[in-house]
Amino acid sequence: MQKQTGSVHAVIIILLTLGLIGSVGFIFWQNFIVNGPTRGAVQSNKSTKSDVVKAEIVEVKKKTYCATFEKVCFEYPEKWTIKQVDEPSGDSKDAFTIADPENTVVLAFQSGIGANDGSCCGPMPEGPVTIISSQKVPHFGEVASSQYDKDRSNGVYVSEVVTTSVKGVFPDPSEPIVNSVIKGYIPQLVLHNSLTLAKKQTVTRINGNITGDSYINGQQNGTIFLFGTVTFSIKSTPKIFSSLNEAKAQLKGTSFQQAKAILLSAHYE
């Protein structure tokens, strides 16, 4: 009887020992194998590094520049280059360009110049101008209205537009009628207060450009200024694309978007 009791006790002790070993093993597996504090720390570090990289991509160091005469200021990436331009005419007060590092997107600023619609004498070819987007400049303030500017707003906008390069064809030299042939499409940005350019639409303009829509009345008495890839007499050779969609796609590129941000930062000193 005593021998049988001893056997039972031995079995119970063995079972308890196995249970204890199993519990300890389960706890070890749960805490160190599944949750793994070391592996968790590595994952946390990876996430932090990724966030830092993203922050470096988004953040672009900028500088501020103000025009000497008209006192319009703007912020631009420090890798862009500002270059003073010889005055194209005796009336010009400010004349400079700002270009991206590759010199592929060039903004021009001029003030103290006369308005010009790009036309001359006699019949002129016309071409379509497509306004892709328009955004109001937040810190520019209001522009004084003029009785001669019916198509103008007190607010200032930045618009993405596609102008056209057109060629005039005269079917009959004796007739004052000219047909237009589109040679290509030009993506452009412009700071303006034109109601026409402030909404998405397609309009027809002489020579397919928006020179007459792009100027703004300045605060200096009797002066106007322009700021954008559209220029008056500063010579430039914008790249021409074969289709409207190809030209529109350029506006989504990094340099064009940075140029757009420059224009949106415009404000008076």
pLDDT digits (tens, 9 = 90+) for 15-52: 566 665 666 565 655 555 545 544 443 444 444 544 54
Query: Which tokens hold the place of 118?
Result: 């790009």
Same domain, 252 and 162: yes
The answer to whether residues 29 and 125 belong to one domain is no
Does the structure show a pLDDT above 60 at 266?
yes
pLDDT tens for each residue of 53-102: 444 445 678 899 999 999 999 999 999 999 988 765 556 688 899 999 99
Note whether 38 and 92 are same-domain residues.
no
Question: Mean pLDDT, the chain, as a whole number?
Answer: 79
Note down the domain range covering 148: 61-268
- Cα dist. 195→37, 156, 218 in Å? 62, 10, 17
Q: Is residue 17 domain-shared with residue 78, that is, in the same domain? A: no
Statement to judge: residues 14 and 121 lie in one domain: no
Q: Is 138 exposed, middle or buried (0-12, 13-18, 19+ CB in 10 A)?
A: exposed
110 plus 125 within the same structural domain:
yes
Tell whether the model's pLDDT for residue 260 goes beyond 90. Answer: yes
* Pair 107, 213 in one domain: yes
10 with 24, same domain?
A: yes
Are residue 94 and residue 26 in the same domain, yes or no? no
Number of domains in the chain: 2
Instruction: Say if residue 109 is in the same domain as residue 207.
Output: yes
Contacts of 79 (CB under 8 A, 6+ apart): 100, 101
Name the token pair of 204: 């027809």
